Amino acid sequence: MKPSQQQYLDLFVNHLKNERRLSPHTVSNYSRDLQQFGLYGEEQNIADWRECNVHFMRAYIAALFRKGLGGRSIQRHIAAVRSFFSYLVREDIVKANPVAGLSAPKAERKLPSPLDVDQISRLLDDNDIGKPVLIRDLAMMELMYSSGLRLAELISLNVDDIDFNEGTVPVTGKGSKTRVLPVGKYALERLEHWFSVRNSMCPPAQRALFVSQRGQRISARNVQERFRQWGVRQAIDGHIHPHRLRHSFASHLLESSGDLRAVQELLGHADISTTQIYTHLDFQHLAQVYDRAHPRARKRRDNAK
C-alpha cells in the first residue's frame, strides 16, 4: 500500500475516534478490516483509492467469500469500506462511493435448537422452591413457553393483563400490533403462585407483572441472566435464554398441529416466511400446509394451469 493510501486510512481512523467518537473496539474492527482491504488493493495493483470502482468492489466481496468468511463478517467488511469511501467523498478525494449500491450476502440466521419435551419438563417441573424470586422465575419461563412471548413482550406485561377466567393475555408486539394469546394451565398455576408472593418483592402500587428484587419492573438483562442460571441449575444442554423458549414453543406447536397459519398468528409474525425460519421443518411441508389451509392459495395455482 502506498504511503498516500495509508495516510488516508490513518486519517479516517482518527475521524472515527475524534469526530464520530466510536468505541475503541469498533475503531479496532474498522481499522483491521480496512487494512485487509488495503492489502487486497495492493495485490490487485491499485495505486490510488480513485481506481476502486464497483467492479473492483464486487471482486473484493467475492474474494472474501472464497476465504470462507460468513455473511455477517462480509457485511462488517463492506460496512467499513463503505464508511471509508463516504469519508473520502466528503474530503473530495474521490468523486463517488463505489460501495454505495452494493450489498453483502445475507448472513445465515442462526436459531437456537429447540428444547425437547423432556428438557422442558426438567426445566419447568421444579416444585422444590420457596423463595419469591424462584417462584417468579418459574412463572416467567412457564408463561414464555406457554404463550410464545418475545422477551420485550414478557417484561412489558402488567398485573392486570392476565385474564385468569379466560386464560388469556394481550401483548403488543412489533409494529405496535396487539394480539391475544392463550395461557396454558401450568402457566396459570405458576402465575397464581407468583401473585401469592409478589407483594413481598414490591409495593402494592407497582403495576409491572414481573419485578426485580428491588421492586422495579424487571429488565431484559435480568431475565436473560435468570434463565441462564436456571439452565445451569437444571443441567440443560446448551444455553437457556428467552428466545430459545419462544423457539421451542413454535417448533413443538407446529410439529404437533401442522397448522402454520395458527402458529404465525400466535408468534405475531407479519410474514409467513418468518414463521418458517423459526422452525426446523422442511419448507415444502410448510407450503403444503399453507396450500391446504389458505382459501385462496391453492385456487390461484389451479387456475394458472
The answer to whether 246 is a known catalytic residue is yes
Catalytic residue among 217, 246, 247, 252: 246
3-state helix, strand, coil in the chain (%, to 5): 60, 5, 35
> Is 269 a known active-site residue?
yes
Of 136, 217, 269, 290, which residue is the catalytic one? Answer: 269
Question: Among the options 32, 90, 106, 174, which is catalytic?
Answer: 174
The CA distance from 294 to 298, in Å, is 7
C-alpha 77/C-alpha 69 separation (Å) is: 10
Nine-digit cell string for 293? 389451509
Residue 174 annotated among the catalytic residues of the structure: yes
Q: How far is CA 252 from each of CA 155, 170, 217, 283, rounded to the nearest angstrom?
A: 23, 22, 30, 16
Annotated catalytic residue within 17, 150, 285, 294: 150
Distance from C-alpha of 108 to C-alpha of 74, rounded to nearest angstrom: 12
Residue 95's H or E segment, with its range, is none
Cα distance between residue 20 and residue 57, in whole Å = 25
Residue of 17, 72, 122, 243 marked catalytic: 243
Give catalytic status of residue 280 as yes or no.
Answer: no
**Residues with active-site annotation:** 150, 174, 243, 246, 269, 278
